[in-house]
């Protein structure tokens, strides 16, 4: 939206002025909330966390490839940004990795702008001037296959955004908000309502694709079903609103507004129903896109006799890595060396290790402490040795520590839980291994477990609903 507060009526001259500095085309894709991207400082692309921390310059003023960068749009996986350059000689649409590397050109027309990604990441849609009109087009990421979506729509268009399901595009003509199939069929004016004759602009999809939020008459936000119907006002008298973006998790809407200082353009965040407007105090520019948090990189597979992979399932999970003395949360840790101790007394962990033939096997463990080990063999066995404190008084006096220690497991594969007087080898089951002052108890909730009684030197098969106590000598 051009910064002309008096531009309420839409005439030929006004439309031409607005088109020269329209905000970015965005796309709200479902997922976990990630970073904001915005143009800033007269030609840079920046990103930062929603709380205003960790601001990074992705495309500087002089990147060596393009200058005058603006109108950033996140890819659906949160790993790339598309943006436009409005400087003659370097203008066009570009793509850059989220860390600022790998800048590459898509188009070389300075009039191209407002890019938006297809959900599968193979195409871009953007505004392209054709026959004197601003039209919506799509293209492959290398600039080939340019297709005009709106060849016969005799008006200048603005702010395209690809639907989360990839079938439709939304855009505005500085007066109304439309949706259209990507092939150009089924054009629908969502805001052609006598009850709202002023300007509707800057549409943004809800991540489930059922609704569109948009600016109305510069200072209000409204929402309408993507199939049409009556609009609902989310907020009014919000200042000069230049850009809006739905959060990937669908719960929030961010918008940029000028409320007469102290910042010229400032970031605001409201609930998706218009309640609880938060003034963040974050200085941004007139283009904004809320991206999806990118998926964590894949964890390398575990190595036999070296390590196992771990992932918290619930609660608080701690680990004391081999060679260390303190327990730390298993949050950013995805692999632990053998000999590490797991504290699962207040949480559950998913443990993945190598099995027969190099395949991986997975089990969930909880309610106990154990040291992880593994044999080096053609069919490696992963062991969890109970390690919680166990105090058994030698006389009939009160114990000064816990009289039991235990560990639950749920899984299948070559897993063995080991205690003082017995070990349990699973065959796909839910089982408890518990050390007491009387011996080691193995109880099976489902499946079958082979219990090795270390005292009697015999193996006992324990089935669902049964238990076995290996008595201390």
The CATH number for 307-471, chosen from 3.30.70, 2.60.120, 3.30.43, 2.60.40, is 2.60.120
Name the average pLDDT for the chain: 87
Share of the chain above pLDDT 70, in %: 89
Contact 103, 60 (CB under 8 A): no
The per-residue pLDDT for 332 is 79
How confident is the model over 320-370, as pLDDT tens digits? Answer: 999 999 999 998 789 999 999 999 999 999 999 998 888 999 999 999 999
Rounded average pLDDT over 435-463:
95
Contact 240, 218 (CB under 8 A): yes
Going through 98-162 in order, the beta strands assigned E by DSSP cover 104-105, 113-117, 123-130, 133-140, 147-148, 158-162
How confident is the model over 278-329, as pLDDT tens digits? Answer: 999 888 877 899 999 988 788 899 999 999 999 999 999 999 999 999 999 9
How confident is the model over 114-138, as pLDDT tens digits? Answer: 999 999 999 999 999 888 889 999 9
* pLDDT beyond 70 at 385: yes
The per-residue pLDDT for 174 is 85
The per-residue pLDDT for 67 is 65
| Pair of tokens at residue 10 | 């839409």
Q: Show contacts of 267-271: CB within 8 Å, 24+ apart.
A: 267/36, 267/52, 268/238, 269/50, 270/221, 270/234, 270/235
Contact 111, 94 (CB under 8 A): no
* Separation CA 473–CA 452 (nearest Å): 15
The per-residue pLDDT for 39 is 86
The per-residue pLDDT for 196 is 60
Comparison of pLDDT for 332 and 454, the residue scoring more: 454
* Separation CA 13–CA 17 (nearest Å): 6
Residue 150 main-chain phi, psi, to 5 deg: -120, 60
**Res. 21 pLDDT band, cuts 50 70 90:** very low
How confident is the model over 28-65, as pLDDT tens digits? Answer: 787 889 999 998 876 889 999 998 899 999 988 655 55
* pLDDT beyond 50 at 255: yes
Q: Show contacts of 326-334: CB within 8 Å, 24+ apart.
A: 334/299, 334/309, 334/310
The torsion angle over the Cα atoms of residues 137, 138, 144 and 145, rounded to 10 degrees, is -90
User: Looking at domain 12-292, does it have CATH number 2.120.10.30?
Assistant: yes
Q: Which residues contact 28 (CB under 8 A, 6 or more apart)?
A: 161, 164, 204, 205, 206, 207, 245, 246, 247, 248, 290
* pLDDT beyond 50 at 229: yes
**Res. 14 pLDDT band, cuts 50 70 90:** very low
The per-residue pLDDT for 28 is 72
* pLDDT beyond 50 at 20: no
How confident is the model over 78-122, as pLDDT tens digits? Answer: 999 999 987 766 789 999 999 999 999 999 998 999 999 999 999
**So where are the chain's domains?**
12-292, 307-471
Residue 452: count other Cβ atoms within 10 Å of its Cβ: 18
| Pair of tokens at residue 347 | 């949480």
- pTM for this one? 0.69
The per-residue pLDDT for 197 is 61
């Amino acid at each position: 939206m051009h910064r002309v507060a008096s531009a309420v009526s839409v005439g030929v001259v006004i439309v031409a002025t607005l088109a020269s500095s329209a905000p970015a085309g965005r796309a709200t894709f479902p997922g976990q909330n990630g970073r904001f991207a915005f143009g800033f400082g007269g030609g840079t692309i920046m990103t930062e966390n929603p709380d205003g921390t960790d601001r990074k310059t992705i495309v500087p003023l002089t990147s060596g490839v393009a200058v005058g960068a603006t109108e950033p749009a996140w890819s659906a996986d949160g790993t790339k940004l598309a943006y436009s350059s409005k400087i003659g000689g370097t203008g066009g649409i570009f793509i850059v990795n989220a860390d600022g590397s790998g800048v590459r050109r898509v188009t070389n027309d300075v009039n191209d702008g407002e890019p938006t990604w297809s959900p599968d990441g193979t195409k871009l849609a953007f505004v392209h001037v054709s026959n004197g009109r601003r039209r919506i087009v799509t293209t492959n990421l290398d600039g080939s296959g340019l297709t005009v979506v709106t060849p016969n729509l005799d008006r200048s268009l603005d702010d395209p955004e690809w639907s989360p399901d990839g079938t439709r595009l939304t855009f505005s003509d500085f007066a109304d908000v439309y949706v259209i199939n990507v092939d150009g069929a089924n054009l629908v004016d969502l805001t052609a309502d006598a009850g709202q004759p002023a300007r509707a602009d800057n549409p943004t999809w809800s991540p489930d694709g059922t609704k569109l939020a948009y600016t109305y008459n510069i200072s209000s936000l409204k929402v309408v079903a993507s199939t049409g119907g009556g609009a609902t006002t989310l907020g009014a008298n919000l200042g000069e609103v230049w850009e809006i973006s739905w959060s990937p998790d669908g719960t929030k809407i961010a918008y940029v507004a000028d409320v007469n200082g102290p910042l010229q353009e400032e970031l605001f965040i409201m609930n998706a129903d218009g309640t609880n407007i938060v003034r963040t105090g974050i200085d941004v520019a007139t283009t904004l896109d809320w991206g999806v948090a990118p998926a964590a990189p894949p964890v390398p597979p575990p190595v036999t006799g070296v390590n196992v992979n771990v992932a918290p399932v619930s609660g608080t999970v701690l680990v004391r890595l081999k060679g260390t003395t303190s327990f730390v949360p298993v949050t950013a840790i995805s692999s632990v060396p053998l000999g590490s101790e797991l504290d699962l007394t207040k949480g559950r962990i998913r443990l993945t290790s190598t099995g027969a033939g190099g395949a991986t096997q997975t089990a969930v463990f909880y309610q106990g402490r154990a040291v992880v080990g593994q044999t080096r063999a053609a069919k490696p066995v992963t062991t969890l040795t109970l390690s919680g404190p166990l105090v058994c008084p030698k006389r009939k006096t009160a114990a000064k520590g816990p009289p039991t220690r235990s560990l639950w497991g749920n899984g299948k594969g070559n897993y063995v839980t080991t205690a003082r007087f017995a070990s349990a080898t699973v065959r796909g089951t839910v089982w408890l291994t518990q050390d007491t002052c009387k011996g080691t108890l193995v109880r099976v909730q489902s499946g079958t477990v082979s219990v090795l009684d270390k005292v009697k030197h015999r193996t006992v098969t324990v089935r669902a609903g049964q238990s076995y106590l290996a008595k201390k000598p």
